[in-house]
Amino acid sequence: MKTQWIKCNACGADSYQSLSTVGEWSIGKCAKCGLIYLNPAPFFEPTSEFSSISKGFQYTRYMHEKITPKIFEYERAQLKNQQHLISRLTGQTFPLMRFLEVGCGSGASVRAATDIGWDATGIDIDPELIKTGIEQHGADLRCTPLLQAGFEAESFHFIRLRDVIEHLPNPYDSLVEIHRLLRPGGLSLIVAPNEKALINRIRFLLGFKHKMVAYAEPPHHIHGFTTDTMRRILERSGFKILMMKTTIPVDPEYVTSNNMRSVKRPDLVALWKVARILGMGNFLVVWIQKV
């Protein structure tokens, strides 16, 4: 793993201010726009070393579990709902949806997309997860970073980053690449933790130090976005924002099947629902379009 000093991906400024230190990692913010990020940032490579490291990440362990028929069913239902929303947002229907899942893990969503008739591809930098996914269900999975994937321009109608952008050391460059890969009128969906969620605001009001980025200790998450900083980076990347909202960890339209396990905690679910009503839900959901 290598580390590198980075500028703010949301606004481009080189005005990093450290807020706290966790182990060897510095968590800080951009003095100009407020984006939260690590600096220097880790740049992980698609190696067996990363596979070993990722098993220790709090929100990655579930990906190493066996994919069950119930998970495939959940993913198919979610993708169908998103397909209907794409039609409502754009008035477009695609006879053959060309789909890319960035950060696909072991690829349950890619297999599910294929099952409903899409031409689907998934990429991830964890070689063990890619190998496991291919062995389990045979979808088109590739172990590569997005910027090195080598896809041709205007290859996809729909590109999804679900719980991914917060992991990237270079989200601006990645979004520019996604813009290049989308066909005119194509859409991307970004689902990411909300750095200004109600639970985080309460934590800081109580005097807790900034020890996490987007709910996870470094270096699992590198960037923590708010509605303001997410809007900045998307507009800077050339996208039209069609919809931006916050949601909760048990929203089946957007979150992973693993998150749905939290429905067994009615106390938390009630708090999350209040936060969503206030516009301070745990997750940001953003639909963007290449125009």
Q: Give domain status of residue 207, yes or no.
A: yes
Query: Which pLDDT score, from 0 to 100, does residue 282 have?
Result: 97
Q: Give domain status of residue 25, yes or no.
A: no
Q: Give domain status of residue 37, yes or no.
A: no
Q: Give domain status of residue 140, yes or no.
A: yes
Query: Which pLDDT score, from 0 to 100, does residue 206 have?
Result: 83
Do residues 178 and 286 make contact, with C-beta atoms less than 8 angstroms apart? no
Ramachandran quadrant class, 279 (left: phi over 0; alpha: psi -120 to 50; beta: rest): left
Give the count of domains, the chain.
1
Query: Which pLDDT score, from 0 to 100, does residue 106 have?
Result: 96
Q: Give domain status of residue 2, yes or no.
A: no
pTM > 0.95: yes
Q: Give domain status of residue 17, yes or no.
A: no
DSSP, residue by residue, 140-154: -EEES-GGGS-PPTT
Domain interval for residue 208: 46-289
Cα–Cα distance measured from residue 217 to residue 215, given in angstroms and rounded to the nearest whole number: 7
Query: Which pLDDT score, from 0 to 100, does residue 246 have?
Result: 98
Cα–Cα distance measured from residue 144 to residue 77, given in angstroms and rounded to the nearest whole number: 27
Q: Give domain status of residue 260, yes or no.
A: yes
Query: Which pLDDT score, from 0 to 100, does residue 237 have?
Result: 98
pLDDT, tens digit only, all 291 positions of the chain: 899 999 999 999 999 999 999 999 999 999 999 999 999 999 999 999 999 999 888 778 888 889 999 999 999 999 999 999 999 999 988 889 999 999 999 999 999 999 999 999 999 999 999 999 999 999 999 999 999 999 999 999 999 999 999 999 999 999 999 999 999 999 999 999 999 999 889 888 887 888 999 989 999 999 999 999 999 999 999 999 999 999 999 999 999 999 999 999 999 999 999 999 999 999 999 999 999
Find, among 112, 107, 105, 108, the residue nearest to 97 by Cα.
Answer: 112
250's CB contacts (< 8 A; 6+ apart) are: 259, 260, 262, 263, 269, 272
Kindly report the CATH number assigned to the domain that includes residue 171.
3.40.50.150
Query: Which pLDDT score, from 0 to 100, does residue 93 have?
Result: 86
Question: Residue 19 to residues 3, 27, 76: CA-CA distances in angstroms?
Answer: 19, 6, 41
HSE-CB at 201 with a 13 A cutoff on CA atoms is: 12
Q: Give domain status of residue 268, yes or no.
A: yes
Rg (CA), the chain: 18
